[in-house]
Amino acid sequence: GEDVEQSLFLSVREGDSSVINCTYTDSSSTYLYWYKQEPGAGLQLLTYIFSNMDMKQDQRLTVLLNKKDKHLSLRIADTQTGDSAIYFCAETWGEKLTFGTGTRLTIIP
């Protein structure tokens, strides 16, 4: 199947860490991506991880990959109001990307 699953909502206090989770389906996916979408905008590539890695860090962003469980997570350290958005994970499936439903991240002041 092609279902990539994410929780729909996440609320986090400003300054705390946010952890957004994703379960993907295709163990042969080569790359897994995280995109950010702000209201009225397109998709902004945040980061990606190759399937033979288990962790990638990029400034405030940390991606963890558990290939055995097909679980991907995105941790945003020191969450700010500008991080409010919908976050999509995506896996490569053949020649295309298959996206999760998106997680709406809300920052509580």
CA 99, 69, 76, 107 dihedral sign is: positive
Q: Which two tokens stand for residue 18?
A: 């946010």
- Smallest distance from the beta carbon of 33 to another protein, in angstroms? 7
Nearer to another protein, 58 or 78 (CB): 58
Nearer to another protein, 24 or 99 (CB): 99
Residues at the interface with another protein (CB under 8 A): 30-31, 33, 35, 41-45, 48, 50, 88, 90, 92, 94-99, 101-102
Geometric angle at alpha carbon 87, from 82 and 84, rounded to 5°: 20
Give the end-to-end CA distance of the chain in Å, rounded to a whole number. Answer: 39
- Smallest distance from the beta carbon of 97 to another protein, in angstroms? 6
